Structure 1
């Protein structure tokens, strides 16, 4: 696992087939952010995982009346065999 404070989005994007998994700690739902979406966020000026984390919330938890802000960013690198 990559530690959020030690890596930038540019480093994660440079990894082979990198993606971000975004699990909600309240409801257990997991979303994925694929390399193309990571590139778009970098183009909008976000450079770190901590900066990206502030932009996320769980839509399911928000619909249930909660804040939906108990999410985690998990960088995942899938390498070819």
Structure 2
């Protein structure tokens, strides 16, 4: 059974990851990201990747899961941003 702090970590990770889903869906549907800064996406992707690496090094499953999924969503947005400039 998971301890309380791990459950809190999964809840926090789920909420922060799910927060990006509407933006990805909107960007895919409209094929535009003019209101999203390219530099913000790149910096955020690097930061999330480093959190993912930290999670792997510390064996923190909530950090690995949340940041792995978030990184995929951010990379999708970045791809849309670059494709539909």
- Of Structure 1 and Structure 2, which has the larger fraction of its residues in helix? 2
Instruction: Output the TM-score relative to the length of structure 1.
Output: 0.24
**Rg comparison, structure with higher value:** 2
Instruction: Output the TM-score relative to the length of structure 2.
Output: 0.23
